[in-house]
A and B are shown apart, each in its own frame.
Chain A
Amino acid sequence: MSWLPKNCVVVPVDFSDQSIAALDEARQLVESPSRMYVIHVLPVLSSVEPGVIWDTIDDGARRDHVETALRERLSDAKWEGVELAVRIGDPASEIVDFASGVGADIIVLPSHGRTGLTHLLIGSVAERVIRLAKCPVLVLKEGP
């Protein structure tokens, strides 16, 4: 991996402060925001959710909601031109799939640093992305 500016950077965002901070880091790797792809992965909708039972929400509506929410969150001028994407499924595999699809040079994401039981059950998206990715992955650690 060279330190030259990247052509295509994928940044998964889950609306947490760390993931928004990762956007700033990623911004430094590219010349223009238009080289950045921000992806949010939604979990598969539970089929016993009241909204599903009563047919008042569906994946299309959820995508629209998230896109609107992402645009609001990234309404700052410095994010002008960032590409947004919403996928549904397992976060790590969706992120990796998406990254190969757009021919990403690098994936930038924060580590939540969970430990113990939650780590065992949730695992770490970052870990799985590292394992599955076909391009370099930059995992950001929280500063002291």
Chain B
Amino acid sequence: MLLSELTARHLPMECRCRRVTLAALLLVVSVGCHEVSAQQADSTTKDVSAKTERANGSDSGDTASNKKEMKQSGPGDVSVPPTVESLEPAAKPTLLQRVDHVFAQAVKGMEWALFFRVGSRERPYVQFKHEEYYVRDVDAEGSFVKLNPAGVFKAAQLTTKDAEALKARGKLVLGAGAKLFRLGQIGERKVQYVTVIIDDQSKYVLVDEGEQAGKYVKLTGKRGLLSDKPADVLSPEQVEQLGQKGRLAVNDTGSSGDPPSRYIQSETVGGAPVVVLWLALGSVFFTFYMRGVNFWGFRHALQIVRGKYDNPNEPGEVTHFQALSSALSATVGLGNIAGVTIAMTLGGPGAFFWMFACGLFGMTSKFVECTLGQMYRTVKPDGTVLGGPMQYLHVGLKELGLGPLGLVLSIVFAVMCILASFGGGNMFQANQSGQQIVAIIQKADSEHLEQLNADIKQAAEAQQHERMADLQKEKTTLQEEMKSQSAIVRPVFGVLLAIMVGVVIIGGIKRIGAAASKIVPTMCLTYIAACLWIILSHVTEVPAMIGLIFSEAFTPQAMGGGFVGVLVMGVQRAAFSNEAGVGSAAIAHSAARTDQPVREGAVALLGPFIDTIVVCSMTALVILITGAWDNTEWVVNQGLKGTPLTSRAFGEQISFFPYVLTVAVVLFAYSTIISWSYYGERCWERLFGPRSTIVYKAIYVGCVVVGAIVNLGAVLDFSDMMILSMAFPNILGAILLSGKVRAALKTYWDSYRAGEFETFK
């Protein structure tokens, strides 16, 4: 008979006195650690359990099954599952972790202020955090013995080999240097212990309406959906019992629930961040106030882009078409490839409806901000142009007698734009393209890994232990190889990319930057062509998919079912992608050669159209056709998201396309980095003058390397927040100045209708 089985039989599971139980456990453990041999254990254990019973004054000897035990424990019973206290020195945080920590704190504060959520609610939930411990004496060699005899993990003992196998499956909490065991203590006794993770993923949330009201239902890994299996429902009593058995994470912020429970935690869900409402309502306001110029001005916008009104003698740097291309090279890119996929995996097909709507209304936001950019730009004596929100907020509001407000808004905008250029415009791009490079280099390896996983599962089912161990060893080696390869590839890629960025923005090698910007339209067309190929080969499915997009927009099977969550997701991703209302594009558009601000505004409204309504729709349909948004294997099991998921979806349809996509992703990232450096540099120049821009450029190039190496975490959240938050000063200023835009639009349109404008083509 195995030692742990013996202890299970003889140990009382419910004890009214915590101290005594611990003492008893300590005894058992200490015995177990000395005598791991099962043959020798028998008499010792009996002795221990006898002592334990005496100490407890209890006679609850039999714990036949977990179920029975659950029934026995009444309210007020507090049984404490045994745990080991770690003696490992806390790992010293690396410099990066410390930076991350500082950022995380800053981001938290900012998130509260900038991303304040309106209409959110608190949702109670319980989180499984189920670990089991196997212990042995510090100097002992041989197997580890299960600490909690009643634990659900089957093995009573773990050999080093077993532990290796668990490690390969990612089921162990590893010690320093990826050691199998850690040093800990139980009471005074020092032990080595192995921590097996049984479940740290499952999360059950309290449902407040419908059949399951008042019960906790398991969340599936997809779109925040609740499980519909009857087995995945827990009553509050069951929650309490599971908690007492050490299967749930403990709420250390204070008890909640009624009656209060240590295991019930609370999270904020739902609601809409103020900045997202601000962006959405701003674009709707502009669309109504400009009387739908995004619809009736569209044809005229196309005429302008084709060069019909390009007068070479008007002030400015570039033609309308060139200004639009420059603005697009900063927006078209990863937002279209990764953003749509993220929106749909989290919010379902309905999220795309709201992205589309946001693109449509965003056209007017873009119109207003770019018209303002032209109105208040400064043409410098050398013919170059300085324009954008930092300019119109300052000068424009001064005209309205709001000078101090304008100054503050323009400074806030410039600071946020600089920070956003480091983050979303740079590090995010470097990081995502670096990851795609690693993914494509390791394509064969990850397929091999997938195969190994399947083989291991098969071997486990067939009980081929030797084969399983071999396969696991192979898997561990492969994973290590992939990891170390990634640790080389990413910095190398980061440095190469930084050099390429540096030669352009610091070295002044103009041709490379120009070539990269000009290649974007070609890449974009290639991408659209591939999408169309896939869409047309499944054209019969398209109407049903469009129906799905509409129905899911209002009654979604995602994010708790309310359309607000899906709307927020769509608007947020669309704003990331087309930057309408953010104000960045106004900087590029103010360089256009014209003396009619409204004309460039009309050109600018094509931006969100191309970015969101054309390119994002393409991605969305491909994701729907391939079913990637709802693919449990890809989304849940393999944890694919963003670019890798899009790449995977394309790979299913066109086998070589992931390679093309990788090239596209790198080029998009590169041109976005180059273009955003222009935005950041202009804002820096506005704040600190032209002479110190070298400081900005040096930091910018450094960010490329950092972005490619780190796992962004808080740094990324921070910069993404900056991009969206640029909308606060920008939309506020644009609303205050919208009267002027409306008047200018009316004058312009009257002249246009009267045929007063000179044409050149």
Chain B stretch 689-736: residues in CB contact (< 8 A) with chain A: 689-693, 695
Q: Please, which residues of chain A bring their CB within 8 A of the CB of B135?
A: none
**Chain B residue contacts of A121, Cβ below 8 A:** 688-689, 692, 695
Contact (Cβ within 8 A) B383 A65:
yes
Q: Once bound together, how far apart are the Cα atoms of A85 and B719, in whole Å? A: 43
Nearest-neighbor residue (CB-CB) of A46 within chain B: B681
Are the CB atoms of B317 and A57 closer together than 8 Å? yes
> Which residues of B are found within 8 Å of A53, using beta-carbon distances?
322, 326, 510, 513-514, 517-518
Minimum CB distance partner of B323 in chain A: A50
**Contact between chains at A49 and B381 (CB < 8 Å):** no
Complex CA distance for A45 and B692, rounded to whole angstroms:
13
- B545 contacts chain A at the CB level, 8 A cutoff: no
A50 and B383 contact, CB distance less than 8 A: no
The answer to whether B381 touches A51 (Cβ under 8 A) is no
A84 CB within 8 Å of chain B:
no
Given contacts A52-B510, A56-B322, A62-B384, contact A46 B505 (CB under 8 A): yes
Stretch of B25-33, B210-218, B672-680 at the chain-chain interface:
B672-680
Known A-B contacts A46-B693, A91-B691; A51 and B384 likewise in contact (beta carbons under 8 Å): yes
Shortest distance from the beta carbon of A43 to any chain B beta carbon, whole Å: 4
CB under 8 Å from chain A, chain B span 468-520: 504-505, 507-510, 513-514, 517-518
Give B316 Cβ to nearest chain A Cβ, in Å: 8
Which chain A residues numbered 99 to 142 have a C-beta less than 8 Å away from chain B?
Answer: 117-118, 121-123
CB distance B674 to A48 under 8 Å?
A: yes
Give the Cβ gap from B497 to chain A, nearest Cβ, in Å.
15
Which B residue's beta carbon lies closest to that of A90?
B691
| A51-B318, A56-B318 known; A70-B381 Cβ under 8 A | yes
Bound form: Cα–Cα A44–B697 in Å: 13
A69 nearest CB neighbor, chain B only? B381
Contact of A49 among B384, B518, B593, B692 (CB under 8 A): B384
Question: CA separation between A45 and B508, bound complex, in Å?
Answer: 9
* CB < 8 Å neighbour of A122 from B588, B593, B692: B692
Which residue on chain A has the smallest CB distance to residue B684?
Answer: A121
B384 touches A45 (CB 8 A): yes
Is B591 an interface residue, CB under 8 A from the partner? yes
Q: Shortest Cβ distance from B307 into chain A, in angstroms?
A: 13
Residues of B within 8 A of A55 (CB): 510, 514
Q: What CA separation (Å) do A107 and B677 show in the bound complex?
A: 36
Report if A54 contacts B (CB, 8 A): yes
Q: Is B461 an interface residue (CB 8 A)?
A: no
Q: Which A residues lie within 8 Å of B508 (CB)?
A: 44, 47
A47 to B502, CA, bound (A): 11
Contact A50 B514 (CB under 8 A): no
Contact with B along A35-49 (1 / 0, CB 8 A): 000001011111111
State A116–B674 Cα separation when bound (angstroms).
31
Task: Indicate whether A30 reaches chain B with its CB closer than 8 angstroms.
Answer: no
B252 to chain A, nearest CB (A): 43
CB proximity of A95 to chain B, nearest CB, Å: 13
Q: Please give, as numbers and ranges, the residues of chain B lying within 8 Å of A43 by CB-CB distance.
A: 690-691, 693
CA distance A49 to B682 in the complex (A): 9
Inter-chain contact B689/A54, CB cutoff 8 Å: no
CB distance from A130 to the nearest CB of B (A): 16
Among A47, A55, A122, max chain B CB count under 10 A is at: A47
Instruction: Given A48-B504, A62-B383, A62-B384, check contact A54 B688 (CB 8 Å).
Output: no
Tell me if A61 is interfacial: C-beta within 8 Å of chain B.
Answer: yes
Separation in Å of the B378 CB from the closest CB of chain A? Answer: 11
User: What is the interface of chain B mostly: helix, strand, loop, or mixed?
Assistant: helix
Taking a contact as CB atoms under 8 Å apart, the answer to whether B691 and A123 are in contact is yes
Are A50 and B588 interface neighbours, CB within 8 A?
yes
**B689 neighbours in A (Cβ, 8 Å):** 118, 121-122
Output the least CB separation between A91 and chain B (Å).
7
Chain A, 48-86, contact with B by CB distance < 8 Å: what is the 0/1 string?
A: 111111111100011101100110000000000000000
List of B residues within 8 angstroms of A69 by Cβ: 381-382
> Which partner residue on chain B sits nearest A42 by CB separation?
B382
Q: In the complex the two chains form, what is the Cα distance from A50 to B674 in whole Å?
A: 11
Q: Do the beta carbons of A122 and B691 come within 8 Å of each other? A: yes
Q: Do A15 and B381 touch (CB < 8 A)?
A: yes
A42 to B382, CA, bound (A): 8
CA of A121 to CA of B691, assembled, Å: 8
| Max chain B C-beta neighbours (<10 A), residue from A48, A90, A122 | A48
Binary A-proximity of B140-154 (CB < 8 A = 1, otherwise 0): 000000000000000
Cβ of B518: which chain A residues have Cβ within 8 Å of it?
Answer: 53
Selected from B381, B593, B688, the residue in CB contact (under 8 A) with A118 is B688
Q: Could you tell me if A50 and B317 are in contact, using CB atoms closer than 8 angstroms?
A: yes
Which residues of A have CB within 8 Å of B677? 48
Q: Which of B318, B382, B507, B687 contacts A50 (CB 8 A)?
A: B318
* Across-interface contacts of B382 in A (CB, < 8 A): 42, 62-63, 65-66, 69
User: Do B383 and A61 have beta carbons less than 8 Å apart?
Assistant: yes
With contact pairs A15-B381, A56-B318, A65-B383 given, residues A48 and B691 touching in the complex (Cβ less than 8 Å): no
Pick the contact of B381 from A44, A47, A54, A65 — CB < 8 Å? A65
Instruction: Given A48-B674, A51-B591, verify A57-B691 contact (CB < 8 Å).
Output: no
Shortest beta-carbon distance from A34 to chain B in Å: 23
Chain A contacts of B323 at CB under 8 A?
Answer: 50
Q: Which one of B509, B517, B689 has the greatest number of beta carbons of chain A within 10 Å?
A: B689
- The 8 Å CB contact of B678, one of A48, A63, A66, A117, is A48
| Docked complex Cα distance between A112 and B690 (Å) | 15
CA A57 – CA B592 in complex, angstroms? Answer: 12
Query: Please, which residue of chain B has its CB at the minimum distance from the CB of A58?
Result: B510
CB-based nearest B residue for A59: B382
Chain A residue nearest in CB terms to B317? A51
8 A Cβ contacts from B512-550 to A: 513-514, 517-518
**Which A residue sits closest to B507, measured CB to CB?**
A47
A109 → B minimal CB distance (Å): 15
- What residues of chain B lie closer than 8 Å to A44, measured between beta carbons? 508
With beta carbons under 8 angstroms apart, the residue of A47, A62, A65 that contacts B504 is A47
| Cα distance, A123 to B513, chains bound together (Å) | 30
The chain A residue with its CB closest to the CB of B514 is A53
Taking a contact as CB atoms under 8 Å apart, the answer to whether A49 and B591 are in contact is yes
Could you give, for residues 6-46 of chain A, a 1 whenever the CB lies within 8 Å of some chain B CB and a 0 otherwise?
A: 00000000010000000000000000000000001011111
Q: Is the CB of B381 within 8 A of A50?
A: no
Interface residues of B in 644-687 (CB under 8 A from A): 674-675, 677-678, 681, 687
Q: How far is the CA of A46 from the CA of B509 in the complex (A)?
A: 10
**B591 contacts A50, C-beta separation under 8 Å:** yes
> In the complex, A61→B323 CA distance in Å?
19
Q: Within the assembled complex, what's the spacing in Å between the Cα atoms of A55 and B510?
A: 9
Cβ-closest 8 pairs across A and B:
A51-B317, A62-B382, A65-B383, A69-B381, A43-B690, A122-B689, A121-B688, A48-B678
Offer 9 A-B interface pairs, CB within 8 angstroms, sorted by A: A46-B693, A47-B507, A47-B510, A48-B677, A53-B322, A53-B513, A56-B318, A61-B383, A122-B689
By a beta-carbon cutoff of 8 Å, the part of chain A in contact with chain B is: 15, 40, 42-57, 61-63, 65-66, 69-70, 90-91, 117-118, 121-123
- Besides A44-B508, A49-B317, A121-B689, 14 more A-B contacts (Cβ < 8 Å) are A15-B381, A46-B678, A48-B675, A50-B322, A50-B678, A51-B318, A51-B384, A54-B322, A54-B326, A54-B514, A56-B593, A69-B382, A118-B688, A122-B689
